[in-house]
Amino acid sequence: MARAATTSDVFNAIAEQQRREILVLLRAREVPVTELAQELGMTQPGASKHLRVLREVGLVRDRKAGKHRLYGLDARGLRPVHEWTGGFEQFWNESFDRLDAYVQDLKQERQEE
């Protein structure tokens, strides 16, 4: 079965480093594929494929602009990810406490050896 298709899941789409870089770049402005590929040091087909994935999950959209095709950001799809991770916010601090308990536990184990 392998992994869920990147094309159907925002979490998967942004699991790829280069795609995240693309999104960051698109935060600044709309960009045609060629320029994007150049700036991020990827091949044009490579960039095209990543953009396809991003488009299919709705994080990016494109519009014709003369000879070019401009890609632009549609960040709404990132909101669920932000909110999901936000659901763990209360644990970011608490985690220290738990970690502390964990460390205590380790110490105890050592003493028992």
Partner DNA sequence: TTGACGTATGCCGATATCGGTATATGATTG
Partner DNA sequence: CAATCATATACCGATATCGGCATACGTCAA
Rounded distance between C-alpha atoms, residue 3 and residue 41, angstroms: 27
Torsion of CA 45, 47, 53, 55, to 10 degrees: -110
Rounded distance between C-alpha atoms, residue 50 and residue 39, angstroms: 14
* The token pair that represents 77 in the structure block: 């799809």
Q: Which of 11, 29, 43, 91 binds DNA (CB under 7 A)?
A: 43
Compute the Cα dihedral for 20, 26, 32, 34 and give only its sign: negative
Using CB distances below 5 to 8 A depending on partner kind, what does residue 97 bind out of its own copies, DNA, none? Answer: none
Place of tokens 């095209």: 48
Does position 44 bind DNA by CB under 7 A?
A: yes
Q: Which of 21, 48, 74, 78 binds DNA (CB under 7 A)?
A: 48
Residue ranges in contact with its own copies by CB under 8 A: 3-4, 9, 11-12, 14-17, 20, 23-24, 27, 61, 63-64, 72-76, 78-79, 81-82, 84-89, 91-92, 95-96, 98-99, 102, 105-106, 109
| Binding interface with DNA (CB under 7 A) | 1-3, 5-7, 15-16, 18-19, 32-35, 42-46, 48-53, 62, 64, 66-70
